[in-house]
Amino acid sequence: MSLLSLTGVTCRFGGITALNNLTLDLPQGAITGVIGPNGAGKTTLFNCITGAYRPSEGEIRLRGESLVGLAPHRIARLGVARTFQNIRLFPSMTVWEHLMVVQRGGGLRAALAPLGLSGAAPRRRAEQALERFGLAPFRDRLATTLPYGVMRRVELARALTAEPSLLLLDEPVAGMNHEEAASLATLLHGLVAEGLTLLLIEHDMGFVEQLCQQVHVLDFGTLIASGTPAEVRRIPAVIDAYLGVEG
């Protein structure tokens, strides 16, 4: 059963077609990868799904409900969360505050309650995220002052505190060393085991092969191949467009 389905999604900016007639399905509870050379339209795809851009044509449905034209915060509330290619943490906030800020629920009263006293549920969620992502030692540090790998984890943890059903990861292991990437992979597997659906953009083919059941290859905004990582590797067009270039 598919969680997210895109049908004929096209996104143009002026004369440039960043996404061209893209159709794909994300199976529930799977990890799907999107690869392609720089400028292939990967991040544009994320921006269309999360409502940052409105596709020029086509339909995007989450559990059958159309997302096209919805404000980004509404899409987020329907269960779509994301991380950013170039980490976007809030400079004024501690790690703990990052884990509280996008949480929802409890209405205005809960939102207005002082953090120390706010309902047990948000605090528990944040505590869990601290634990799970190994952030407890950094709880009260300003997030943007932390090492790169930790910042990536804060971003991921922040996205998850919104309790999404679909998580979009934009190059999650960029700048990470091998060890960090491996531990992230374990973490992501764990999340998927709990029912989360993942869509990730990644350049690191090793990471993609390790993680993704299904891979879609974009080139110049067009979907040129889909399949398992092993299948995709053998398609000549993909080798030309992407893998060949990377060596």
Q: State which residue, 80 or 217, has the beta carbon closest to other proteins.
A: 80
Task: Report the alpha-carbon distance of residue 150 to residue 134 in Å, rounded.
Answer: 9
We find the least distance from the C-beta atom of residue 204 to other proteins, in angstroms, to be 24
We find the least distance from the C-beta atom of residue 182 to other proteins, in angstroms, to be 27
- Based on the shown chain and the rule CB under 8 A, indicate whether residue 199 belongs to the binding site for other proteins: no
Question: Dihedral sign, CA of 48, 176, 162, 215?
Answer: positive
We find the least distance from the C-beta atom of residue 101 to other proteins, in angstroms, to be 4
Asked if residues 37 and 219 have their Cβ atoms less than 8 Å apart, the reply is: yes
- Based on the shown chain and the rule CB under 8 A, indicate whether residue 198 belongs to the binding site for other proteins: no
- Based on the shown chain and the rule CB under 8 A, indicate whether residue 16 belongs to the binding site for other proteins: no
- Based on the shown chain and the rule CB under 8 A, indicate whether residue 122 belongs to the binding site for other proteins: yes
Task: Report the alpha-carbon distance of residue 97 to residue 74 in Å, rounded.
Answer: 22
Chain Cα centroid distance, residue 13:
23
What is the token pair recorded at 75? 């899409």
34-63: contacts with other proteins (CB under 8 A): 50-52
Which of 141, 211, 155, 215 has its CA nearest to residue 183? 211
Contacts of 87 (CB under 8 A, 6+ apart): 148, 151, 152, 155
Q: How many CB atoms lie within 10 A of CB 146?
A: 17
We find the least distance from the C-beta atom of residue 196 to other proteins, in angstroms, to be 16
We find the least distance from the C-beta atom of residue 123 to other proteins, in angstroms, to be 10
- Based on the shown chain and the rule CB under 8 A, indicate whether residue 247 belongs to the binding site for other proteins: no
Using the contact rule CB under 8 A, the part of the chain among 6-14, 107-115, 211-219, 229-237 near other proteins is 107-115
Contacts of 82 (CB under 8 A, 6+ apart): 46, 50, 159, 167, 168, 169, 170
Asked if residues 142 and 200 have their Cβ atoms less than 8 Å apart, the reply is: no
Using the contact rule CB under 8 A, the part of the chain among 2-10, 29-37, 90-98, 200-208 near other proteins is 90-98
Binder among 125, 152, 158, 216 for other proteins (CB under 8 A): 158
Q: Is 56 helix (H, G, I), strand (E, B) or coil?
A: coil
List of residues contacting other proteins (CB under 8 A): 50-52, 71-73, 76-77, 81-82, 84, 88, 90-93, 97, 100-104, 108, 110-116, 118, 122, 158-159, 162
